[in-house]
């Protein structure tokens, strides 16, 4: 049986815990540290796969929860699997659906066997168990699939049991992290991981990753990391962070947990995040990230730049001829020269074609409700994150963190690197 996934570590930072690597899957390789755009329903919103690839993205994420509800894993499988379905021939990772089943459903009931929730598409009752979540991901066919874990809302210990909680507005864990519910969840996650592994029907084609939970409590994290990594898997993730807690807590939990994961396997920090969170995690030795920020903020007219975000609906941009970011090579700041169709005076054409879309134009698109606004800012933001990752990879290789901090002040967020003390 050939392994579904292989990590080569190509360089290690001497000054920090960061490492440069390359992960190879049945659908190609990606460089680490890697950022995965989120393609929730089989599409990175508003972009063609070609446009996504041009941002430098090498692996994308799909959401099992959404694809389960619509169009259903059988449809995806019969249309050739998720790669073929969404036209993305490179590596794909799917989550297990657990996070959404616990956080998005209006009604959910969890027991030792799994969770039942109401479909956001048609209101019907849907059941997910470790076995079904794994089987569904087997049908979708992603290169990396995630364990189905018990993820109670972050405010569980104040409320006793999970209730309706929506989206990312979950409160951080309070002081009493060792509530009954959290402890149950932590133990259940390990039992469920064994069941996921037993149910996994395509281990030679799909790499199953386990997920370490434990909230912001270091004891719970250590317990979870030991039990989860005791189960031999091709990679491990850190779950349950960046659910509303302050960045210092994210950094602390990640710094504590990452070294507890095996050195020779990919380490994936789920759902993170802002530039500073990514940098901090990279310095602790994390290899993989995903987040909706670049595309969700792109749709909301918020653009990332190395100096901070821009709100492009702001009236100040109405007549601003500048690009979102000077020197950026994205499809909004530096669109491709038209390749065909236009002929005529080459001088005028080339001069214009090399030009950027202005902030004033992009603001106009948002004010008029035109699709091209979200498209252009999503293109920019994804390219921004991929240039950040690319620069991080070069910096790991060269171990030149002083230069990195100058180029990415927003990511460094005040951090002053020194050769002896990692962030």
392 CB-near residues (< 8 Å, 6+ apart)? 18, 33, 278, 279, 282, 404
How near is the Cβ of 29 to a second copy at its closest, in Å? 5
339 CB-near residues (< 8 Å, 6+ apart)? none
Give the active site residue among 143, 150, 217, 290: 290
d(CA 216, CA 175): 9
Q: Which is nearer to a second copy, 37 or 152 (CB)?
A: 37
Give the active site residue among 95, 143, 150, 217: 95
Q: Which is nearer to a second copy, 83 or 255 (CB)?
A: 83
Known catalytic residue: 95?
yes
How near is the Cβ of 88 to a second copy at its closest, in Å? 8
How near is the Cβ of 238 to a second copy at its closest, in Å? 25
Cβ–Cβ under 8 Å, residues 236 and 268:
yes
Secondary structure element (H or E) that encloses residue 34, with its range: strand 34-36
Q: Which is nearer to a second copy, 1 or 368 (CB)?
A: 368
Q: Which is nearer to a second copy, 63 or 280 (CB)?
A: 63
Q: Which is nearer to a second copy, 167 or 414 (CB)?
A: 167
How near is the Cβ of 331 to a second copy at its closest, in Å? 7
d(CA 169, CA 154): 10
Q: Which is nearer to a second copy, 63 or 213 (CB)?
A: 63
Cis peptide bond N-terminal to 71, omega within 30: yes
Cβ–Cβ under 8 Å, residues 115 and 178:
no
Rounded CA Rg of the chain: 22
Residue found under tokens 């180029």 = 407
Cis peptide bond N-terminal to 33, omega within 30: yes
Q: Which two tokens stand for residue 122?
A: 């048609």
d(CA 186, CA 149): 9
* Strand 6-12, strand 60-62: pairing: unpaired
How near is the Cβ of 337 to a second copy at its closest, in Å? 8
Helix/strand/coil for 275 = helix
Helix/strand/coil for 397 = helix
Q: Which is nearer to a second copy, 41 or 197 (CB)?
A: 41
How near is the Cβ of 350 to a second copy at its closest, in Å? 8
d(CA 127, CA 129): 7
Q: Where are the alpha helices (DSSP H) in 259-306?
A: 275-284, 293-299
How near is the Cβ of 305 to a second copy at its closest, in Å? 20
Which residues are the active-site residues? Answer: 95, 290
């Amino acid at each position: 049986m050939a392994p579904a996934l292989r990590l080569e570590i190509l360089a290690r930072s001497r000054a920090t815990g960061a490492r440069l690597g390359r992960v190879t899957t049945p659908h190609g390789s990606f460089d680490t540290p890697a950022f995965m755009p989120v393609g929730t329903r089989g599409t990175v919103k508003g972009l063609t796969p070609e446009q996504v690839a041009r941002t430098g993205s090498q692996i994308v994420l799909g959401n099992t929860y959404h694809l389960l509800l619509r169009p259903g894993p059988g449809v995806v499988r019969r249309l050739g699997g998720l790669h073929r379905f969404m036209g993305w021939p490179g590596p794909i990772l799917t989550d297990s659906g657990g996070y959404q089943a616990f956080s998005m459903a209006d009604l959910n009931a969890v027991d030792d066997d799994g969770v039942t929730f109401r479909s956001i598409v048609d209101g019907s009752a849907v059941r997910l168990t470790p076995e079904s979540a794994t089987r569904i991901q087997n049908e979708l066919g992603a290169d990396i699939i995630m364990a189905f874990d018990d993820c109670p809302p972050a405010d569980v210990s104040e409320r006793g049991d999970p209730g309706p909680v929506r989206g990312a507005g979950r409160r951080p864990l309070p002081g009493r992290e060792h509530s009954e519910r959290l402890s149950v969840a932590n133990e259940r996650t390990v039992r469920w991981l064994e069941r996921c592994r037993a149910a996994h029907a395509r281990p030679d084609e799909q790499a199953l990753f386990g997920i370490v939970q434990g909230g912001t409590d270091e004891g719970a994290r250590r317990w979870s990391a030991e039990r989860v990594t005791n189960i031999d898997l091709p990679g491990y993730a850190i779950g349950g962070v960046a659910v509303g807690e302050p960045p210092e807590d994210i950094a602390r939990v990640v710094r504590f947990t990452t070294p507890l994961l095996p050195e020779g396997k990919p380490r994936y920090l789920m759902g993170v995040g802002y530039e500073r969170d990514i940098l901090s995690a990279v310095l602790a030795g994390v290899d993989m990230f995903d987040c909706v920020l670049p595309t969700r903020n792109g749709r909301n007219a918020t653009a990332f730049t190395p100096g901070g975000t821009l709100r492009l609906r702001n009236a100040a941009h109405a007549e601003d001829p500048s690009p979102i970011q000077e020197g950026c090579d994205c499809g909004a700041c530096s669109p491709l020269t038209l390749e065909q169709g236009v002929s005529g005076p080459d001088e005028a054409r080339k001069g214009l074609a090399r030009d950027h879309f202005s902030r004033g134009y992009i603001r106009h698109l948002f004010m008029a409700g035109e699709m091209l606004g979200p498209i252009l800012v999503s293109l920019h933001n994804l390219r921004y994150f991929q240039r950040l990752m690319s620069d991080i990879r070069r910096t790991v290789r060269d171990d030149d963190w002083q230069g990195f901090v100058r180029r990415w002040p927003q990511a460094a967020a005040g951090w002053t690197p020194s050769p002896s003390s990692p962030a």
